[in-house]
Amino acid sequence: MDTQSCILTRRSIRKFTDEPVSHETLEKIISLAAYAPSWKNTQIARYIAIEDPDVLQAICETYAPFNARIIGGCKTLIAQTFVKSRSGFERDGSFSTDREGGWQYYDCGIAAQTFCLAAHNFGVGSVIMGIFDREALEQYLNIPEDQELMALIAIGYPEGDAVAPKRKDVPTLLSYR
């Protein structure tokens, strides 16, 4: 798939078929997602593939009820984490910019979108979710102390076709100085 087609046809998918994403396909997606740009090439994004139906149900019921319909309908949920205090920081631990620790979130966004584009390239749908009880879910998933949970990404093979929402036009998005 060429880049333009990948960008123009990728959608946030919220309904999935019952066909699971193979480990081979998921590993190919992660291999491509690893090429996401990051602050000083720190590559802080990490991914946990959650496939256990009991764990998915617990996440739906206790940690992410707002997104339970989506999570309950996928066979694989990706918990995206990041290694803390690397992106946007100097080696001595000081901040590199006035964004302080915020740059690590920016890098995670780039990595999540790269993940979703890579998934789409293999016919796998995805949707990034941010509404969940982060601290409690970090404990439940045993996220290492040097990492933080950033996003949940439901993945699977799309059920039906998603329609593209209207986009803003270029004059609205672009200005020149």
pLDDT-flagged residues of the chain (< 70) = none
Tokens of residue 29, six digits: 């997606």
CB 48 within 8 A of CB 81: yes
pTM of the model: 0.95
Q: CA-CA distances (angstroms) from residue 120 to 14, 31, 123, 149? A: 14, 14, 5, 23
Query: How far apart, in whole angstroms, are the C-alpha atoms of residue 45 and residue 2?
Result: 25
SS3 152: strand
How many Cβ atoms from other residues are within 10 Å of residue 11's Cβ? 16
pLDDT for 175: 96
pLDDT for 97: 87
For Cα atoms 130, 133, 137, give the angle at the middle one, nearest 5 degrees: 105
Query: How far apart, in whole angstroms, are the C-alpha atoms of residue 55 and residue 77?
Result: 10
Query: In the chain, at which residue ranges do the beta strands (DSSP E only) sit?
Result: 45-50, 76-83, 125-129, 147-156
CA 81 from centroid of its chain's CA atoms? 9
Percent of the chain with pLDDT over 90: 87
pLDDT for 163: 85
Distance separating the N- and C-terminal Cα atoms of the chain: 35
pLDDT for 89: 87
For Cα atoms 86, 144, 132, give the angle at the middle one, nearest 5 degrees: 95
pLDDT for 161: 87
